Amino acid sequence: MRISLELITFIATESAINISTLVCLQNNLKIPLTDRHFGGGEFVPNRPKLSLCRANREAFVECLCLNFPRFLARDRKSGLKMDFNMLVQQAQRLTNEVQSAEDIPQMDRTLPQVLMAAQELHSRVTQSEVGSQDAQAHIMLGSKGIDLPKITQKLETLSSRKTFEPLDPIADTDIQSFLRNEKENAILSVIEEVHKETYKSAQQQKWDHIVSDWREEKVKLMNALVGSSQGWIEIQKGPEQTILNETSVTGRSCLGSQEMAYAREVLDYNRVVIEGVLRPNLVQKFAQVSEEFNDAKITEMWEIVKYMVNVMPSARSQDPLRQRQHSGQLIQQAKKYLENRYKVYMTTVVSDHLREAQLGGIPNTFSLVSAFVRLRFGDMDNLNAIGLQDGKIEGKPIWPMVFYCLRCGDIQAALKCLEFISPGHEDVIQVLEEKLRKPDQRINSKLEQQIKMQYKRQIRNATDPFKRVVYCIVASCDIHEQHPDIAKTSDDFLWVQLSLIQAEAEANQEILTYAGLQTMILEQYGEKHFNAHEQPHLYFQVLALTGQFEVAIEFLSRFERFRAHAVHIALALNELGMLGGSRDVRQPLLSVDSDDPAPLRRLNLARLVMLYVKKFEITDPAEAIQYFFFLRNLLDAEGRNLFLLSITDLAMECGEYDLIFGKIQVNGMRSRGLIDQFESMQVDPRAACQMVADELVKKGVFESAIKMYDLAENHEQVLNYTSVLLSQVVNQPNKRGSLRERIQVVAREIKERYDIDEIKCDPKILSTFVILYDLLKFFDEYHEKKHQLALETLARINLVPFTMADLDNCLKNFKELRVEVCKVFPNILLATMDILYSQYRAIKSKTTQTSFPATGENPLSRLREQAKALTSMGATIPYRMPGDTNNQLVQTEILMH
């Protein structure tokens, strides 16, 4: 069948076209028909129930017309021909099938209706891109049974404007409106509460995520800071109050039970040091205290410290880090600790399985190892099945027996095991015999080379892992082999590595040195490998056993739970001269010195102690001073003793000057303070008081500085700064609790206690204090309206003239005054002029000039002359007074004429 204009005309003029015909054309002619050609009716060829009998003929005609050129081209190309009768027959058959369906009614449209629908669809399709997208959205949602226009209408009716608007006021009797408002209020409150909780939860999750990320970054930074000019990051928590201490100054203490136990031992130790008797071992003292905490990890840490300090004491004049680098004693002590610990572990395992272990014979290492190996390997008949070689000892594999004897540190037991071995291992036996006879000497180099050669040729590829590790331990063979089948724990790994260390190397020989092992633990593996933040005690153990005390202490101090123990480990090591301290107290907590061998670090003990004491120095100053005593041999950048400097900062921080330094008693003697207990250690309490006073002056706290200078017996500075304060308040009226009242009390005590005539200080400072002290009385009398007494007091001071003849003398005296008195001079002139004017008015109001005797002195003239002398003094003195002072003096003088 060929698509032609005649066919299109036929379809257009036909009164009705059922859907079967359309389907036939769709299938046979491949006409691209969609639902948009049928004015909203759905065109589904495979579902005749949804067809229309006379559906949208105009739209269909439009489709044929639009596609007519393509049909013609396709027909020419393919020569497609179809009999129209066949098309009609297929359409009729489909029509009959559709008519047989009774559940879906048929729908007819007239030609104008089809034309209008086609025009509407055409206009919608030919709109802009947005319109096309809307049409596609209608098609997609319509295929799923969603009526988009209705949904749009419903959404447009929704409005949130009234939801969150303020509720309208209602009358008290409007019950329905009241209930509606209450309902809306409840809904709004729930919405607001949910909003707040959601926001709070989101914020908490955000910060948890940030903190988690920062912890990971912090670990990376800690492992990366290894340069000589950098130190470790210090992250410290603020002080937290822990327990109540009835003996503390404030009634509350920030010292926990463990910290208080340590503090008591520190006090006892310092008392012994001050008395000059033989010092106890501070490590032993602290280790005994730690046993009371019932914490296995803490006890274990102190046990490690006890082993590592059990070496020959070195001279305090030598650098601990340089001595440590070449000390084989630390290696031996670390191995001894690991060996004894493993022996305890084996004993525990055997004790738990006595029946299976069959422990018998004389209690010794050989019997213990034999029982342990029996538990681990059992009675195996074929050792080759698991790779073990060279036979058995009483049914137990020989090389595991040798290894575990060495692991327990018993070379003699290992030699006993080797008595049962087949020939070919004589060199190993000879080396072990040499180590047993001369444990501190290196084995014969020739013998060592023979064992290494044998290891390379035969043992390296052996299937028995215990045999390989024994050869490596005996002659330090293959330092890169980790022995994962045997060294499954950190203790085993560390013991094997310590056993491989050699001090000197032959030509072209690679060895493992002590520094190499330290670098491996600290830099190659680091905190991440040992999961240090989850197991801080484990990382401390491997650092301490490899002689890296400074890094171990700094790492432990980051944790609140272990900070107190880290500080006291540092103090104990420092007292034994085994701690590498910073060369400058201003350095970070952990720093790298370019002169030190890698990878050693230096610990700033002063900073560590101060950070620890910061927690409780306010509530427990007595305990804080005991910790500062450990800094007595350190100096700051300016050469000042760090112990005295720390006490200075403590006193200024807590303000307990009387407790720390004592106070001046009625008899003029200083009572004892906390600092006096250290007097025998060349600690001068007066020097400490002087340091505190100087610091207080720098901060401008003159009132406390005067007290400290008085304790330091520095009378000159006492008078000087008392005068400074007096000059600021001497002209003010005296009020209860004011600074003037307090300074007046201090000045009175100084005047009574000091022998003014015999005191040794600058005469100007002394005269200034005396003048200001007299001015206190003058201004008190002036404010109390005792004018005549005030004038008499001022006349004794001889500061201002009362006649013109006294002007030159007063000007001469003014030039000798210090600035403290000069500052008060304008107030003196104004107060004196006010007194004269008050007297003038009083006399003027009672009588007149004619009432005075002819031969008597006229008091008004005398007052005018005094006023004139004051005005002349104010205008002549070489001091820049406030601008209105002279104006007030002149105006008052004019009023007296």
* Structure token pair of residue 778: 């003058």
Residue 240 contacts residue 619 (beta carbons within 8 Å): no
Tens digit of pLDDT for each residue in 451-498? 888 888 888 888 888 989 998 988 888 888 888 888 889 999 999 999
Which H or E run contains 396?
A: strand 396-397
Residue 366 contacts residue 413 (beta carbons within 8 Å): yes
Burial zone of 619 (CB within 10 Å; 0-12 exposed, 13-18 middle, 19+ buried): buried
Query: What is the phi/psi pair of residue 274, to 5°?
Result: -65, -40
Tens digit of pLDDT for each residue in 850-863? 454 544 567 888 88
Residue 607 — very low, low, confident or very high, per pLDDT cuts 50/70/90?
Answer: very high
Residue 5 — very low, low, confident or very high, per pLDDT cuts 50/70/90?
Answer: very low
Residue 286 — very low, low, confident or very high, per pLDDT cuts 50/70/90?
Answer: very high
- Compare 583 and 168 and report the one with higher pLDDT: 583
Q: What pLDDT was estimated at residue 80?
A: 42
Q: Within a 10 A sphere around the Cβ of 664, how many other Cβ atoms?
A: 16
- Compare 275 and 235 and report the one with higher pLDDT: 275
Tens digit of pLDDT for each residue in 16-38? 455 555 555 555 555 555 544 44
Residue 346 — very low, low, confident or very high, per pLDDT cuts 50/70/90?
Answer: very high
Residue 586 — very low, low, confident or very high, per pLDDT cuts 50/70/90?
Answer: confident
Residue 778 — very low, low, confident or very high, per pLDDT cuts 50/70/90?
Answer: very high
Q: What pLDDT was estimated at residue 21?
A: 58
The residue to which tokens 């070449």 are assigned: 326
Q: Within a 10 A sphere around the Cβ of 26, how many other Cβ atoms?
A: 15
Distance from chain centroid for Cα 716: 47
User: What does the pLDDT average to over 719-733?
Assistant: 91
C-alpha 90/C-alpha 808 separation (Å) is 142
b/e per residue 758-788 (b: at least 16 CB within 10 A): eeebeeebbbbbebbbebbbbbbbbeeeebe
Q: Within a 10 A sphere around the Cβ of 274, how many other Cβ atoms?
A: 15
Q: What pLDDT was estimated at residue 866?
A: 86
Sign, CA torsion 449/451/454/456: negative
Tens digit of pLDDT for each residue in 111-164? 677 778 877 877 766 654 445 566 667 677 776 667 767 777 776 666 555 555
User: What does the pLDDT average to over 200-219?
Assistant: 84
C-alpha 264/C-alpha 857 separation (Å) is 82
User: What does the pLDDT average to over 816-838?
Assistant: 89
| Residues counted in the chain | 897
Strand partners, 603: 581, 590
The 8-class DSSP code of residue 392 comes to E
pTM: predicted TM-score of the whole model, two decimal places: 0.66
C-alpha 654/C-alpha 529 separation (Å) is 44
User: What does the pLDDT average to over 746-768?
Assistant: 84
Q: What pLDDT was estimated at residue 70?
A: 53
Q: What DSSP letter does each residue of 588-651 carry, written as one string?
A: -SEE--TTSPTT--EE-HHHHHHHHHTTTTTT-HHHHHHHHGGGTT-B-TTS-BHHHHHHHHHH
Q: What pLDDT was estimated at residue 896?
A: 83
Q: Average per-residue pLDDT in the chain? A: 79
From 376-385, 513-522, 816-825, the region with the lowest mean pLDDT = 376-385
C-alpha 241/C-alpha 244 separation (Å) is 8
Provide the Cα torsion 835, 837, 841, 847; round to 10°: 90
Residues 6+ apart with CB under 8 A from 143: none
CA distances from 7 to 13, 33, 38, 322, 849 (A): 10, 17, 19, 109, 145
- Compare 327 and 600 and report the one with higher pLDDT: 600
Q: What pLDDT was estimated at residue 248?
A: 46
Residue 542 has pLDDT above 90, yes or no: yes
Residue 723 has pLDDT above 80, yes or no: yes
Q: What pLDDT was estimated at residue 66?
A: 55
Residue 625 contacts residue 660 (beta carbons within 8 Å): yes
Residue 759 has pLDDT above 60, yes or no: yes
Comparing C-alpha atoms, which of 108, 90, 105, 85 is closest to residue 15? Answer: 108
The 8-class DSSP code of residue 393 comes to E
The 8-class DSSP code of residue 681 comes to G
Residues 6+ apart with CB under 8 A from 324: 330, 547, 578, 580, 600
Residue 540 has pLDDT above 70, yes or no: yes
Q: What DSSP letter does each residue of 810-871 carry, written as one string?
A: HHHHHTT--HHHHHHHHHHHHHHHHHHHHHHHHHHHH--GGGS-SSS--HHHHHHHHHHHHH
Tens digit of pLDDT for each residue in 871-883? 888 888 888 888 7
Burial zone of 562 (CB within 10 Å; 0-12 exposed, 13-18 middle, 19+ buried): buried
Residue 378 contacts residue 395 (beta carbons within 8 Å): no
Tens digit of pLDDT for each residue in 413-456? 989 888 888 787 888 888 888 888 887 777 777 888 888 888 88
C-alpha 877/C-alpha 886 separation (Å) is 11
Residue 581 has pLDDT above 70, yes or no: yes
- Of the chain, the percentage scoring pLDDT greater than 70 comes to 77
Q: What pLDDT was estimated at residue 34?
A: 52
Q: What pLDDT was estimated at residue 277?
A: 76
Q: SS3 for 132?
A: helix
Comparing C-alpha atoms, which of 436, 430, 435, 434 is closest to residue 418? Answer: 430
User: What does the pLDDT average to over 587-601?
Assistant: 87
**How many helices and strands in the chain, by DSSP H and E?**
41, 4
Tens digit of pLDDT for each residue in 101-111? 555 556 666 76
Based on C-alpha coordinates, what's the Rg of the chain?
52
Q: What pLDDT was estimated at residue 335?
A: 93
* Structure token pair of residue 86: 């066949």
Residue 612 has pLDDT above 60, yes or no: yes
